[in-house]
Structure 1
Amino acid sequence: MTLSDRYAALHATSPSTRIRDAAVILGTTEAALVALGGATPLRPDWGAIFEALPEVGPIMALTRNDHAVHERRGSFVDVTTGPGHILVLGPDIDLRLFPRAWAHGYALGGERPSIQIFDRDGEAVHKIFADPASTDMAAWTALVAAFATDQPAPPPEAAVPRPAPVAEGLVDANALRADWLALRDTHDFFALLRKHKASRRQALSLAGTDLAARLETGAARAALTAASTAGTPIMIFVGNRHAIQIHTGPVQRLMPSPGGWFNVLDPAFNLHLRESGVAEAWRVVKPTTDGPVTSIELMDSDGGIIAQMFGARKPGKPELADWRGIADAVADAHALRAAA
Structure 2
Amino acid sequence: MNTTLSVEYKSPSNAWTDLSAGTAKGYARDIARAMNITEAQLVAAGVGDNVIRLEADWGQLVQELGSLGNVKIITRNEHAVHEKVGLFDKISAKGPMGIVLNREIDLRLFLTKWAFGFAVTTKTNNGTRKSFQFFDHEGTAIHKIFLTEDSHEDAYQTLIDRYKATEQSSELLMESYDPASAPVADNTIDLEALKSEWAALKDVHQFHGLLRKHNCDRHQSFRLIGKEFAEKLTPTALKNVLEQSVTDNISIMVFVGNKGCIQIHTGHIEKVKEMGPWINILDPGFNLHLRQDHIAEIWLVRKPTKDGVITTLEIFNDKQENFALLCGEREMGQPENTAWQNMVENLERHAAASEAAE
Fold shared per TM-score above 0.5: yes
Structure 1 window deviating more from structure 2 (167-176 vs 70-79): it is 167-176
- Stretches of structure 2 that go unaligned for 5 or more consecutive residues are 1-8, 123-127
Q: How does 1:222-237 map to 2 (within 5 A)?
A: 222-237=240-255
**How many pairs were matched up?**
335
Give the letter aligned to residue 189 of structure 1.
Answer: F
The answer to whether 1:3 aligns with 2:11 is yes
Pick from 318, 332, 351: which aligns with 1:315? 332
Which residue of structure 1 aligns with residue 166 of structure 2? 150
Distance across 2 between alignment mates of 1:196 and 1:207: 12
Which residue of structure 1 aligns with residue 190 of structure 2? 172
1:160: Cα distance to partner? 4.8
Distance across 1 between alignment mates of 2:85 and 2:18: 31
Q: TM-score, normalised by structure 2?
A: 0.88
Which residue of structure 1 aligns with residue 350 of structure 2? 335
Distance across 1 between alignment mates of 2:167 and 2:17: 29
Tell me if the contact between 1:44 and 1:104 (Cα under 8 Å) persists in the aligned partners.
Answer: no
Give the letter aligned to residue 88 of structure 1.
Answer: V
- The Cα offsets for residues 299-338 of structure 1, whole Å up to 9 and x where unpaired, read as 11222211110100132111001100111112xx243444
> Aligned to 1:109, what secondary structure does the other structure show?
strand
> Aligned to 2:346, what secondary structure does the other structure show?
helix
Distance across 2 between alignment mates of 1:118 and 1:139: 22
1:6: Cα distance to partner? 6.6
Change (3 A) 1:316 1:9: closer
Distance across 1 between alignment mates of 2:13 and 2:178: 26
The answer to whether 1:275 aligns with 2:292 is yes
The answer to whether 1:22 aligns with 2:31 is yes
Structure 1 window deviating more from structure 2 (159-168 vs 279-288): it is 159-168
Task: Point out 4+ residue stretches in structure 1 off by more than 6 angstroms.
Answer: 8-12
Distance across 1 between alignment mates of 2:30 and 2:319: 20
Which residue of structure 2 aligns with residue 128 of structure 1? 145
1:149: Cα distance to partner? 1.4
Tell me if the contact between 2:256 and 2:264 (Cα under 8 Å) persists in the aligned partners.
Answer: yes
Which residue of structure 2 aligns with residue 289 of structure 1? 306
- The Cα offsets for residues 162-201 of structure 1, whole Å up to 9 and x where unpaired, read as 7245243232222211111111111111011111111111
Q: How does 1:89-104 map to 2 (within 5 A)?
A: 89-104=101-116
Identity of aligned residues (%): 36
Which residue of structure 2 aligns with residue 40 of structure 1? 52
Tell me if the contact between 1:31 and 1:155 (Cα under 8 Å) persists in the aligned partners.
Answer: no
Change (3 A) 1:101 1:9: closer
Tell me if the contact between 1:27 and 1:159 (Cα under 8 Å) persists in the aligned partners.
Answer: no
1:210: Cα distance to partner? 2.0
Which residue of structure 2 aligns with residue 107 of structure 1? 119
Tell me if the contact between 2:70 and 2:86 (Cα under 8 Å) persists in the aligned partners.
Answer: yes
- Stretches of structure 1 that go unaligned for 5 or more consecutive residues are none
1:158: Cα distance to partner? 7.7
Give the letter aligned to residue 238 of structure 1.
Answer: V
Pick from 220, 229, 233: which aligns with 2:238? 220
Distance across 2 between alignment mates of 1:293 and 1:275: 25
1:251: Cα distance to partner? 1.1
Tell me if the contact between 1:235 and 1:309 (Cα under 8 Å) persists in the aligned partners.
Answer: yes
Distance across 2 between alignment mates of 1:270 and 1:208: 34
> Aligned to 1:70, what secondary structure does the other structure show?
strand
1:239: Cα distance to partner? 0.5
Distance across 2 between alignment mates of 1:79 and 1:122: 25
> Aligned to 1:113, what secondary structure does the other structure show?
strand
Tell me if the contact between 1:6 and 1:26 (Cα under 8 Å) persists in the aligned partners.
Answer: no
1:276: Cα distance to partner? 1.1
Change (3 A) 1:141 1:231: same
